[in-house]
Chain A
Amino acid sequence: MNELDQAGLARLRDGWISGGGAFELAPAEWKEVAAASSPDEQERRLLAVAAQALDVALRPAAPKTLKRRPPLPVLALPMLPERLRPSLRAALKYAADARLKTRVATLVAGRGFVLHPMDWMPAATDQESPDIYAPWVDWQAGADSEKQSRREDLTAETWDDFYPAARRSALIDLRRSTPALARALIETKGAGEPAEVRLALIELMRFGLGADDVPFLKSLSADRSGKVREMAGRLLARLGERGNPAGGGSEDPTAELAAFIEEGKSGFIRRRATYAPIKPKSQAQQARRADLFATCYFGDLVARFGKTEADFIGAWQFGVDDGADLFLVRMISVSGGDAAVACLADLLAAAGGRLAILGLQLTARLDSGRKRVLIRQILNDAQNLAALTLVEGAEAGWLEWGDLAKGKTLPALRSAVSGDNDVTRRNAEQYLEAIGFLASPVAAEKLIGEVVAAGLPPASPSLSLLRLNAALSGNPTK
């Protein structure tokens, strides 16, 4: 369409928008085509010509500033085969929230595949998805320049070439392999970062934490961010450094906490110390006790009683006050030494029942073996299977059929799916999802058979993760 026609069309459009006859405003050639005996017919004919001009001769003008995103990075694992995507989508659809969807991605990554980005993408703030997705997390976070996270070693020189998620992943690897190098990087590069980023970097010191880190962590006591100082203090406490060695005054919170704990003796022949929580006298006292457990360090507390961490744990009277038990376990998870955490986890797993579930508070600090022991114990007891979804950092795809078959879980699931109680049945369906993440392909396959035989519809959506797991049997968990 030439410029005259375009100008004519613009006049016609303006005329019709405001109303009234527009025939005289049309380009001469259009008037010839549209000429008719009645003015209404002329307008209609012009309208038809204008409609065609708009439809075919004019194209929407593209803005000059169309923004393209950088290409979605290619991940280091192959994409899940097309034939498995319907099973995957079913599992994702059944997963109720982002955390459960991330577990699906974790299971699949464990079997050597990544998900199709149109099926699932990690969020920009995601720190739970498998490391393999770090480039996508950075992409989601809006990496807006040409640079992409490079696949080279993280050094002071390449620091700025890494986007945050990829840098985090590389730093974790570095802390595990050469912690001193990672610490030097955090020390050098972290200083210039804002408090929020500094905190995230210091938090990574928990990987490969060792005595060599003490001087650096102590230097953070002068950091301008309270949160950074607090984090450094906790890490130091894990290394056995006293947070409040002076103490003793009326303002000493550790002393105040110790006053909530009663020291006693047990045993007739060989008397040994016991520690039990004193029942708070009011809501206010209860709240204060909770605060103190959350802010004091375990090392300081046991020092107050002149005990080692392991001795104190052994002497604690579990079951006297459930709330105090929970606070203590959390306290040890945050500031206890590695040996104390392992000792407590062993104790709780051996006790089983409610205490084993309490052990899940420790999972962020447990090695793979202890996590598995705890999970096996919970499955064996079948008291609170819902807790299985809370296991932090749980590994996917290791649970064998024997672990399920010998405990109470399998009979409990069979009974729930065959019963008439809708609530029990729904709960059982959630447990199936949780086990779908943990189970080996063989265990997943067998469990499907068991619950279907017990009455669960074979196509129940609650089986979707188990089915996906079983379908990935050609790729055992790596």
Chain B
Amino acid sequence: MQLDLKTIEALAPDQASLGAAAKLTKRSNWPRLEAHEQLPLIWGECQGSGSNPYRVAFDTSDYGYKCTCPSRKFPCKHILALAWIGATAPASFARVDQTPDWVNDWLGRRRKPGQPPATAPARAEGKSIDEASRPEEAPPVEDAAAAERREAAQRKRAEDTRSAVSAALDELDQWIADQLRLGLAGFVDASSERCRRIAARLVDLKAAALAGRIDELPAKLMALRGEERPDAAIRELGKLVLLAKAWRAAPDDAELKRLVSTSETRDQILANPDAVQVESDWEVLGEKIETRRDGLVSHATWLLDLKSTTPRFAVLLDFFPASAGRRSGAFAPGDRFRARLVFYPSRNPLRALVADRLGDVAPGAWPAFVPDAAGDPLAAYAAFQDGAPWLSDCPVILPAGAIALDEKDGAWWQAAGDPHGIALPVAGSVNQTLLGLDLAATAALWNGARLELLASQSSIGRLDLS
């Protein structure tokens, strides 16, 4: 490793990046730090503000780099921090003789090595690694009156937000009543324009999360067959009514605030004593990546708890701007790892953060979950809806079954040994090979109308279906 702090200083885009990187050099921020025994490569996973750790790789020979964070600064603070640790504490890196797949992917895509920053010394101007290393000055002690003023201002802001959101929900209620009055046939046809308009109003009134959900409604409707759209519209609008009512009944409820206005930060969740924490072995079931109309990409990584006797799931949810381009996730479907997850407080805790990643777990089959006594594969969905009827996607583990086609070549999951009984329609098209395989168990998301397949266990092992 031939890194020195001058190089890092020269690489940094500005002083602020160096300052931010300095804070990330604590070993606790890096669940994984590795260096190749022969190649000039270091890489690691940095726990950033997203729910997934960022994957960071750095070539110490030509200073090429890669980070999965959405920052538009190049290199980002994670790269600088990794290089910084490499320069100052190389012993922190475990020496390994193989590069992980995600590092291989990056290396494979690199066309030309980067230019050493030493050839551009001017870039170091105005930046100082010494300054960035200095401990931050303690904030001035606040006097009691100032603290009171600050808290009062916070209360005022919270009250204003609550009033605005309340007004937003009033407008939403009126809008829903208008759609019913005008007819859902017309709503389905003009959903894009109508949803856009009310979503814009909701954003103005600080109900940003709700606005995002309504913005996605037209895409959901268009993904269905024409004859199914009115029912889907009834379902979605009805859920919005329920959500608005629930919020009015408990405006301080964390889950409802998250669904209507804004979400908590990572630090708030980690500091929340009520947040459920689960340390277990997890398998990445699959990913769901959607580009939203508001220009954000939502990246959901679904996990299955391998130690639970009943199916328990978690979802790591990240958002980043679509303009930032394709971004690889921290996990690949099928990955298994031990980790402590902290769940966002919720009636059905699903959304979670990786608090500590504690190493990899050997591949294998899923646990033999006890099936529902009544043999209903959607019993979990009914319970899920009892707790939070305003939600849609519910992860389920389906028992043994297979995929079959209807007359229009639409795919259905069908329970084994019950050819005329339970069958559920599958979203989108399926890999034709799947039609010839018996599925011992299948993980999927059920939204009341369609299954989105995530993964299956079969006689030929695990199948990635997401």
Kindly report which residue of chain A lies nearest to residue B244, judged by CB atoms: A44
- For residue B185, CB closer than 8 A to chain A, the reply is yes
**Residue contact A52 to B181, C-beta cutoff 8 Å:** no
**A67 lies within 8 A of chain B by Cβ:** yes
Asked if B183 and A16 make an inter-chain contact with CB atoms under 8 angstroms apart, the answer reads yes
Closest CB of chain B to A37's CB: distance in Å?
A: 14
Q: Which of A55-63, A202-210, A278-286, A297-305 contacts B (4 or more CB under 8 A)?
A: A55-63
Which B residue's beta carbon lies closest to that of A43?
Answer: B180
Which of A171-179, A238-246, A347-355, A457-465 has 4 or more CB atoms under 8 Å from chain B? A457-465
A51 at the interface (CB under 8 A from B): yes
Complex contacts, A82 vs chain B, CB 8 Å: 363, 461
Assess the B184–A16 pair: CB atoms within 8 A. Answer: yes
Q: At the interface with chain A, which of B150-158, B209-217, B314-322, B435-443? A: B435-443
Query: Which residue of A22, A72, A461 is within 8 Å of B436 (Cβ)?
Result: A72
- Tell me the residues in window 312-338 of chain B with beta carbons closer than 8 Å to chain A beta carbons: none
Q: Are B238 and A51 in contact (CB under 8 A)?
A: yes
- Give B425-466 as 1s and 0s: 1 = Cβ < 8 Å from A's Cβ atoms: 100000111111110000000001100000000001101100
B420, closest chain A residue (CB): A64
Q: Which of B347-361 contact A (CB under 8 A)?
A: none
Chain A residue numbers with a CB within 8 Å of B464 are: 118
Residues of A within 8 Å of B, CB-based: how many?
Answer: 50
Judge if A332 is at the interface, Cβ distance under 8 Å: no
Residue contact A116 to B241, C-beta cutoff 8 Å? no
Residue of A nearest to B178 (CB): A40
B402 within 8 A of A: yes
Contact present for A47 and B39 (CB under 8 Å): no
| 8 A Cβ contacts from B58-117 to A | 99, 101, 103-108, 110
B389 touches A45 (CB 8 A): no
The residue that A16 contacts in the complex, of B180, B460, B463, with Cβ under 8 A, is B180
B235 touches A56 (CB 8 A): no
Interface contact B238-A66, CB-CB below 8 Å: no
Q: Are B405 and A72 in contact (CB under 8 A)?
A: no
Nearest neighbor of B450 in chain A, beta-carbon distance: A60
Known: A18-B185, A43-B177. A63 touches B406 (CB 8 A): yes
Is there an interface contact between A69 and B436, defined as CB atoms closer than 8 Å? yes
A191 at the interface (CB under 8 A from B): no
Cα A79 to Cα B235 in complex, Å, equals 45
Also in contact, A19 and B437, with CB within 8 A (given A47-B234, A55-B389) = no
CA distance A18 to B184 in the complex (A): 7
Q: Which of B264-272, B275-283, B378-386 contacts A (4 or more CB under 8 A)?
A: B378-386
With beta carbons under 8 angstroms apart, the residue of A52, A59, A71, A459 that contacts B385 is A52
Q: Is A117 an interface residue when CB atoms closer than 8 A count as contact?
A: yes
A121 CB–B CB distance under 8 Å:
yes
Q: Is A323 an interface residue (CB 8 A)?
A: no
Q: Does B173 contact A (CB under 8 A)?
A: yes
B402 CB to closest chain A CB (Å) equals: 6
Q: CA separation between A64 and B449, bound complex, in Å?
A: 18
A50 engages B183 (CB within 8 Å): no
Residue of A whose beta carbon sits closest to that of B412: A66
Answer whether residue B296 sits at the interface, using C-beta atoms and an 8 A cutoff.
no
Q: Is the CB of B234 within 8 A of A54?
A: yes
Q: Assess the B104–A459 pair: CB atoms within 8 A.
A: yes
CA distance A51 to B447 in the complex (A): 12
Residues from 428 to 478 in A contacting B, C-beta threshold 8 Å: 457-461
Min CB gap B439→A, angstroms: 12
Which residue on chain A has the smallest CB distance to residue B185?
Answer: A17
CB of B132 within 8 Å of the partner chain:
no
Task: Give chain A residues whose Cβ lies under 8 Å from the Cβ of B414.
Answer: 62, 66, 68
Closest to B237 in A: A47
Say yes or no: A62 contacts B174, CB within 8 Å: no
Q: Is the CB of A70 within 8 A of B173?
A: no
Task: Give A428 Cβ to nearest chain B Cβ, in Å.
Answer: 15
Q: Tell me the chain A residues, 3-29 only, with Cβ under 8 Å from chain B.
A: 13, 16-22
Asked whether any CB of chain B lies closer than 8 Å to the CB of A163, the reply is no
Answer yes or no: A188 CB below 8 A from chain B CBs.
no
Nearest CB in chain B: distance from A416 CB, A:
15
Known A13-B231, A62-B412; contact A139-B237, beta-carbon cutoff 8 A: no
Q: Would you call A48 an interface residue if the criterion is a C-beta within 8 Å of the partner chain's C-beta atoms?
A: yes
Q: Given A55-B235, A67-B404, A67-B405, are A19 and B176 also a contact pair (CB < 8 Å)?
A: no
Q: Which residues of B contact A140 (CB under 8 A)?
A: 432
Task: Tell whether, in the assembled complex, residue B173 and residue A16 are in contact, meaning their CB atoms are under 8 Å apart.
Answer: no
CA distance A139 to B424 in the complex (A): 25
**Alpha-carbon distance between A71 and B435 when the two chains are bound, in angstroms:** 8
Closest residue of chain A to B465 (Cβ to Cβ) is A118
Contacts of B432 in A (CB 8 A): 121, 140
Q: Check A55–B448 contact: CB distance below 8 A.
A: yes
> In the bound complex, how far is the Cα of B228 from the Cα of A17, in angstroms?
12
Q: B137 within 8 Å of A by Cβ?
A: no
Q: Please tell me if B121 contacts chain A, counting CB pairs below 8 Å.
A: no
Alpha-carbon distance A118/B439, docked complex (angstroms): 13
A210, B28: Cα distance in complex, Å: 76
18 residue pairs A–B, Cβ–Cβ below 8 Å = A18-B185, A19-B182, A20-B181, A40-B177, A48-B245, A52-B242, A60-B424, A62-B412, A62-B422, A66-B406, A68-B435, A69-B436, A71-B437, A71-B438, A117-B436, A118-B464, A457-B110, A458-B107
A positions within 8 Å CB-CB of B: 13, 16-22, 40-41, 43-45, 47-52, 54-56, 59-60, 62-72, 79, 82, 86, 90, 116-118, 121, 139-140, 457-461
Residues of B within 8 A of A (CB): 39, 99, 101, 103-108, 110, 173-174, 176-177, 180-186, 230-231, 234-239, 241-242, 245, 363, 378, 381-382, 385, 389, 402, 404-407, 412, 414, 419-425, 431-438, 448-449, 460-461, 463-464
Q: Known pairs A16-B183, A44-B177. 6 more at Cβ < 8 A?
A: A40-B174, A43-B180, A52-B238, A60-B424, A117-B436, A457-B110
